[in-house]
Amino acid sequence: MDIVYIRDLRIETTIGIYAWEQQIRHLVRLDLEMGTDIRPGAESDSIDDVLNYKAVSKRIIDIVENNDLALVEALAERIARTIMDEFPVPWLRLTLGKVGAGRGSREVGVTIERGKRD
């Protein structure tokens, strides 16, 4: 299995468990690794034969910008489920961090892994 990745995708959204957090925009940062087979695209040199990371990024941006969830855990799960449902991705690892949310830390968040890896 090959891996296509997106690193350090930064998106502003409303997220948090407190009422005041729902009133402001927060920066979230994502790293995503997706299992795929790049050989068809490597052979054809055609975007139609590969996992299109631009399309994946645009879908993630849409999900995050229109977020209605409070927890980063729930948002990470929604992103993972959507990517696996809408793209040919049998396995992924997603790290989602909320920048500046933890006192004294740069970011806090979760890393999840879903699907089967060869």
Please write the tens of the pLDDT for every residue from 33-73: 999 999 999 999 999 999 999 999 999 999 999 999 999 99
Phi, psi of 20 (to 5 degrees): -65, -30
Confidence of residue 19 (pLDDT cuts 50, 70, 90): confident
Total number of domains constituting the chain: 1
**CATH number of the structural domain spanning residue 35:** 3.30.1130.10
Q: What is the dihedral of CA 47, 37, 39, 41, to 10 degrees?
A: 0
Single-letter residue type at 92: L
From CA 25, how far away is CA 101, in angstroms rounded?
12
From the candidates 54, 58, 98, 116, give the one annotated as an active-site residue.
Answer: 98
Q: Which domain holds residue 104?
A: 2-115
Residue 61 vs residues 18, 55, 64, 103, 110: alpha-carbon distances, Å = 23, 10, 5, 26, 18
Sequence length of the chain is: 118
The single residue listed with the structure tokens 């830390």 is 105
Q: H or E segment at 40?
A: helix 39-44
Say whether 58 is catalytic.
Answer: no
pTM exceeds 0.85: yes
